[in-house]
A and B are shown apart, each in its own frame.
Chain A
Amino acid sequence: MAASSDRNPPPFPAAEDPEPGLVDPADGDSDEGEDIFVSKTNPVSVSRGVSQPDRGAEDPPDLFSEEEEASSTTAKSNGVHSDDDSDLFAEAHMELNTDKPGSSAKKELSASSGPRSTSTSTQSPAAMQPTSLEQLEEEEAKDSFDVDVAITNPEKVGDGMNAYVAYKVSTRTSLTMFRSKTFSVRRRFSDFLGLYEKLSVKQSLHGCIIPLPPEKSVVGMTKVKVGMDDPSSVEFVERRRAALERYLQRVVCHPSLLQDADVREFLERDDLPRALNTQALSGAGFLKMINKASDAVNKMTIKMNESDTWFEDKFQEVEAEEQQLRKLHAVVDSLVNHRKDLCGNTAVFAKSMAMLGNSEDNTALSRALSQLAEVEDKMEQLHQEQAASDFFIFAELLSDYIRLLGAVRGCFDQRMRAWQRWQEAQSTLQKKREAEAKLLWANKPEKLQQAKEDITESSNRSGSTASITVICLWESRVTQYERDFDRIGMTVRKEVLRFEKEKAKDFKSQIMKYLEAMLQSQQRLIKFWEAFLPEAKAIA
């Protein structure tokens, strides 16, 4: 079956047998599907196979050389994972690992940013004129990841201080675990915060990087509640809507979060119970603050004995990057402000020029000056749009990633806490052992027997059926914590690499958007001035 297709398959032998887990998604595909999964298990070959047919259609060597590098690095890291994963994880995870290079390669190929567009992932196969290899890869990517969410229609519900803004959350998916293919619900901001709370409680123990929702803003919300319709509150709502959309898209792109029941409930359920513990002044809010404070103190006192330098290096990298991003964000903010200034100044200048044109007595010059005033007016609009693009695309991207890097650091902290638990359990075990040894030394067998009887009695009372001693209990705990720690380490590693890939993709797509917007505004600028030129030449 593998050799039945007449297109050029990747010239690599099928290195491994297809994993049984991988066959499932292929069931619905044609017989060519087998071919993919054969080569799928060798991630490097997938990317190369993909890029070759494309080279004919489009001729940008740069992207694909980049892509190959990226894929090969991920392939390497995936290789590492595969070795470790096979010990600890089911094959399902393996499938997700090997899916990733293909799907990410596919996503970069189609040059549509997955998190961004809602409809292009369905259109791109058609637009791409792909070979059948790519088509199948696309479908497979869709099988694993096709959940697109969009947040639209912010509407103010209610009046006065109890008012809130409800957003329409629309989902489009082909995954079978959802009830239907497209559906939408209405959610408010506290619902999003509630989802985040639930996820962080559950998933943080595993070391996942949870995407962060936008921050609360008392000032912004109050303005909206009060009903002021000025541009700043409109901008605030738009900013929040875009941020919520990005947040939700990141959540559904995360493979393990997508499996979470809470996420599904959030997307599907019509009536979600109000998340009360997200209010700033609630009891839960205070508890959170106290927890955060104690965590901070803990962090300062723990000195971890790092056996794996990867974590330390990565942590420092993350910290340095966060600092640089903050700096960049500050500069981009100043750019936005200066552009807004330019807007204002241009508008004012346009008016002044119009008045000058009016008082000019030479008719041709007067007309030219009025035209100049109009051109400057249009320029003001251009600058306005450019400032919006600067802000919504560039600055928001940076602030998102500053917060996400904070979440990454939180991940590392989780791992450190797991290590701490393990060490504490170890020291407790040590103490218990010493205590027992002392008893033995003191040669008081009766006391020892008494102690043992006490222990078994107490363990019987606590409902354990087997008579285990305290030491055995602690021994098992130590082993469990050690395993937990290793597992978290693995997850953190995997998560960080996935995060970096997502980040590269995100940055690329956002930068593209930004440059496209800039390009468009420059083109319009050219048109405006070209329209003005004949007027200027007509001055006599």
Chain B
Amino acid sequence: MTSIDESNKEKLRSVSVDLNNDASLLIDIPDALCERDKVKFTVHTKTTLSSFQKPEFSVPRQHEDFIWLHDTLVETEDYAGLIIPPAPPKPDFEGPREKMHKLGEGEATMTKEEYTKMKQELEAEYLAVFKKTVQVHEVFLQRLSSHPILSKDRNFQIFLEYDQDLSVRRKNAKEMFGGFFKNMVKSADEVLISGIKEVDDFFEQEKTFLLDYYSKIKDSTAKAEKMTRSHKNIADDYIHISATLNSLSAEDSTGNKKNLEKLSDLFEKLRKVEGRVASDQELKLTELLRYYMRDIQAAKDLLYRRARALADYENSNKALDKARLKSKDIPQAEEHQQHCLQKFDKLSESGKKELTSFKGRRVVAFRKNLIEMAELEIKHAKQDYTHNISGLFPLKPSCSFCLTIFDLLEFFFFFFLL
């Protein structure tokens, strides 16, 4: 059972920008418990809106509840013209759990110290996954609360307020299958729809852009993940090197002993820095890419719904023409056509707004994360650098004098220019 505290969470707000600013409805997840496979989130709401019964309250929620909320929003016709924030992915502890298992198997081959360090490293990884999943769920709710239309959704309010267990009916087999089938139909439809002539240039551009961008960002996310994993492997290697150097120096009785000890210490410090580099890169870069990949998928879904509406409208036009030819059921056909036109217009209008704001949001988020990542890289390299210096000091005297001057200058300019 693990829980997180407020201060750590502050550092994690990476991909969410300009959220949770509206004091009329503030949501956060201050606490979460992890039991075996299930994570229980404590959703805390502070509001000034009269639609709620209390000004401040907390409810426990599970991942499935979030999914239920997302699905109901998607299925609501009225929101067809909106980008529904992507559902948070399921908490996945598989990676660290597997590594923990492997570590247990290999326990006999390493020294006690090494084992403890590896275990610590794994526990940190586990904690990182946990923090990430909390953040992702929180961002989902915050996007809903900052959206002018979605924040007023009734189901959303129930989600926030209802203090009993939602006992969301897990999708039974038929519904699951139905959902799966619907997805297949949707993708087939997408192909069909891409053939429809677009009436609006804006949407034509957006469609091309989003399709292309989606595939590229998906690729980048996968590659970024691999890169981060390599970094983590290197950090793990440093642990082993440090431990072996330690046992070497313990048995050494010659002048080499001190050197080996110092080197072992250095590697121990380096592995912490490398670990942090890896996790920062993961949070700022990989998570950013992953989140916007899902967001773009949601935008694509909006385009799909609009295209579907356009197809419906065109079909209704054809039906009206046929009815006029046959001189039968004309008013119904007309009404149907009007209805389709309205729907299509509404979707186009809100779609345009949503997509424009999405663009702005995306650019701002990228900017924030790229700046933070660059700053962290610099900070870690400087820390790495300082550790190297202190590792070098006792070993190489002739250079140490110049290094101190350089070091002092560096810090002087750094603070001065900032």
Contact with B along A352-389 (1 / 0, CB 8 A): 11011001111011001100100000000000000000
Any chain B CB within 8 A of the CB of A303?
no
Chain B residues within an 8 Å CB radius of A526: 378, 381-382, 385
- B355-391, CB < 8 A from A: 359, 363, 366-367, 370-371, 374-375, 377-378, 381-382, 384-385, 388-389, 391
B378 touches A519 (CB 8 A): no
Question: Is B385 touching A522 in the complex (CB atoms < 8 A)?
Answer: yes
Cα distance A519–B382 when bound, in Å? 10
Query: In whole angstroms, how far apart are the Cα atoms of A454 and B53 in the complex?
Result: 127
Given A331-B244, A335-B234, the answer on whether A66 and B255 have CB atoms closer than 8 Å is yes
Residues of A within 8 A of B400 (CB): 58-60
Given A60-B393, A342-B234, A352-B223: A365 touches B363 (CB 8 Å cut-off): yes
Interface centre among B238, B377, B392 (most CB of A within 10 A): B377
Partner pick for B224 among A62, A335, A338, A349, CB 8 A cutoff = A349
Question: Do A359 and B213 have beta carbons less than 8 Å apart?
Answer: yes
Q: Is the CB of A353 within 8 A of B227?
A: no
Please determine whether A537 and B248 come into contact, CB atoms closer than 8 angstroms. Answer: no
- Asked whether A519 lies within 8 Å of B377 as measured between CB atoms, the reply is no
State the Cβ distance, A313 to closest chain B Cβ, in Å: 9
Residues of chain A from 290 to 334 with CB closer than 8 A to chain B in the complex = 317, 320-321, 324-325, 327-328, 331-332, 334
Query: Within 8 Å CB of A508, what residues of B?
Result: 256, 259, 395
Q: A339 at interface (Cβ–Cβ under 8 A)?
A: yes
B381 touches A339 (CB 8 A): no
- Give the complex CA separation of A110 and B399 in angstroms: 11
Instruction: Provide the residues of chain A in CB contact with B238, threshold 8 Å.
Output: 335
What A residues does B381 contact at CB under 8 A? 522-523, 525-526, 529
| Chain B residues whose C-beta falls within 8 Å of the C-beta of A519 in the assembled complex | 385, 388-389, 392
- A518 is an interface residue with CB less than 8 A from chain B: yes
In the bound complex, residues from chain A placing their C-beta under 8 Å from that of B248 are: 321, 324-325, 328
Does residue A266 face the partner (Cβ distance < 8 Å to B)?
no
Which of B241, B247, B259, B385 is close to A332, meaning CB atoms less than 8 Å apart? B241
Closest Cβ of chain A to B53, distance in Å, is 43
Q: Which residues of A contact B367 (CB under 8 A)?
A: 365, 368, 536-537, 539
Any A CB within 8 A of the CB of B352: no
A residues in contact (CB < 8 Å) with B: 58-60, 62-64, 66, 69-70, 73, 110-111, 128, 317, 320-321, 324-325, 327-328, 331-332, 334-335, 338-339, 341-342, 345-346, 348-349, 352-353, 355-356, 359-362, 364-365, 368-369, 372, 500-501, 503-504, 507-508, 511-512, 515-516, 518-519, 522-523, 525-526, 529-530, 532-533, 536-537, 539-540
Nearest 5 pairs between A and B by C-beta? A60-B397, A342-B230, A62-B394, A504-B255, A539-B367
B residues within 8 Å of A by Cβ? 209, 212-213, 216-217, 219-220, 223-224, 226-227, 229-231, 233-234, 237-238, 240-241, 244-245, 247-248, 251-256, 258-260, 263, 266, 359, 363, 366-367, 370-371, 374-375, 377-378, 381-382, 384-385, 388-389, 391-401
- In the complex, given contacts A60-B400, A515-B388, what are 7 additional A-B residue pairs having Cβ atoms less than 8 angstroms apart? A59-B400, A111-B396, A353-B220, A355-B220, A359-B213, A372-B370, A504-B256
A-B pairs with beta carbons under 8 Å apart, 9 shown: A66-B258, A321-B248, A334-B240, A348-B226, A365-B367, A503-B256, A504-B254, A529-B374, A530-B378
